[in-house]
Amino acid sequence: MNEPLEAVTGSSAKEPVRAVTTRVFLALAPPDDAKDELARALRPAYAAHPRMRWNRIEDWHITLAFLGELPVSAVPPLMPPLAGLAAGRAPLRLALRGGGHFDERVVWSGVTGDLDELHRLASDVRALVRECGVLLPERTFRPHLTLARSRRGDQAATVEAAAGLAAFAGRSWEAGSLHLVGSNIGRGPGQIHYRTIVAWDFGGGADGA
């Protein structure tokens, strides 16, 4: 579901809040049935490690470029060139497979399928964003879907949860759109919630304004 930028940058039920900055990234979103398949495989880990900070299933995504904290005014100018980039791309065939961890702190599921095209897409997205004046750090693109983070001193849970996904092989699915996502909703000591600001179909028009 697409959200107006004001909704992503923060609001209350009684009085809207006009934030000066917003935290955004560009990503692909697995379909619900692919996420449900992975969630079923994670049930033993959910039960064994309830204290881990598990990401909400509805927030699962494959990040292509993390833009970080931007002025709200810097986001709309990115939309037309990103829409044009998406319109010129074909959908990708991907699947979620296996799992691992980063530094015994972050549990992830791997991605397989059209990986050459996925890497090209990530490279082109990052290049376009830089051309629009957004400074991005030079980071190697490692396709994955982040699932959870361990609490301090509980690295064993991360390793065990990741090992439980070693044999997971999800069905293939079509990544058909590029998502501009905001992560300001819920910032603070609680869980961060993500919201799609706009999604552009590959090979088609923009899904949103």
Catalytic residues: 61, 144
The phi and psi torsions of 27 (rounded to 5 degrees) equal -155, 170
Burial 106-141 (b: 16+ CB within 10 A, else e): bbbbbbbbbeebbeebbeebbebbeeeebeeeeeee
Q: How far apart are CA 130 and CA 134, in angstroms?
A: 5
The phi and psi torsions of 26 (rounded to 5 degrees) equal -110, 135
CB atoms within 10 A of CB 172: 14
Q: Is 159 helix (H, G, I), strand (E, B) or coil?
A: helix
What is Dmax (Cα atoms) for the chain? 49
Q: How far apart are the first and last CA of the chain?
A: 12
